[in-house]
Structure 1
């Protein structure tokens, strides 16, 4: 049984265990602050984080600022993107009393785990990682050491807090497998310190960008959670469709039309096919109007909460400060265990 099939087979039992004993789990999840978070982030990951938090699971949310430069030369407006992500997390329902929100660069002990972890993997294993391959191809740059070791950095993210549950999509399973391998090899070599994390597959289908391609900040085809209603309407109006008047759902032949149908459907709880039938021969103008209404109605509560939070920047900054503080305590405790296991504690000499 391949990794994906085996993971799917484990899901019912894992979900039941989560429901019955949420206190047994700690999750690690996060985003790279390369731009504003968008609808794809909300439906793909943020909503699931809130669900798991509300179920009683100890939740760590990483803003991976160090990983911004894995596939690019400049870090950009990272401070602005971190602040924007914080606003979206809090507006979406992440509770700093129950979730620890922190940044890579603020937790040195986490990043120090990279050193022993790198000794536990081979170059060939790193080159085989599909994310490394795809990010390298998309960047058009030479392979950097940081991009090559990106999966090991992710293993440090998960292991520093002894995360034992990681919500992921199918394409991220290789990262979890490598993290499990690193944890297992460390435990075998030095003594048990780390749990081997389980992947929790998210069932949300990937939300396409407005042009039918993958929704991406770099493509400029995303509806950012921080957009105003007017900005959203303008972005949807600019979406390329086609000249055929009757609306139908056909992602391969009609990517723009189908992307708008999918976007409207996830926002109003319908299906693309039903919405296409509803619009019928009224054309792309009716489709864009329906999609605009669906998105703006869905995002209205989020935008209201976000605006209230933005009016209190000191509170938002305090959330990150406290999250960084807790993450540092946890990371230092784990690093102390690692040093003890490896025999690199010299206080008694």
Structure 2
């Protein structure tokens, strides 16, 4: 039986050498707090490329300074960020991996000293500020910021961009009836709640021709939140707009108690893949090669996003290859230890 984990896959003109993706994870490592790439970021991401991960996705990178989750987040809101991001992308490419960056805006979950923004003036919880409800001008400015960020990502040489529409951040706040109480054309029915994401995608597509992934939270863990029928609708719209893959996570929209277990989010990816016929990425406590292979062999998802496993072991791909008895090519410098 062919091991699908190590089979290539193509999105538009971009071919990944395997199905292993480094999931975007905030590193909170920017010193000074200006959003620029540090030596740590280069080492952190390049080491996973050396470890033969197929697609390395940088952490949530803010399209506006007020859209950072914290003051130590990476940024892509100005020209000075391009040089460092290009260095990371170039180092990833050196080892045969493809590079990606997640474009993000934290909305009401920004933990910053300045005023914060959201679709509606509702705080996440008692420990967060109450955001200002966005004006139409601010919505348009933010859409433009995503577009300009995509242009900078292109200048930095990334192969894929991912739009962060999950985990209760700004785009997710527009999508969810729990956080979007607007009465204008961006609120109310799900068609209106989708408008913000739709307009971001249309703006980005005017200058970005490579694959676009979108991460969503496909379960809000609240009876009054979006349900699977809503997520299927969103997935259908994303497919119509030319999105290459939906990265399926869950939660983060409102405070919730979640009891995760191995592969607990995989069924969401499977449902959207089967109902909408769009490629999906599976994430969430996927830790072993056998587990990843089961997801792929049974056509439950197309890519395996690894987070904590790649923090623990940058060479997880080699471990997986050993377990599956697959002959994974070694980086030349590591050949002596690759047996």
TM-score (norm 1): 0.29
TM-score (norm 2): 0.29
* RCO comparison, higher one (Cα < 8 Å, 6+): 1
More helix by proportion, 1 or 2? 1
More strand by proportion, 1 or 2? 2
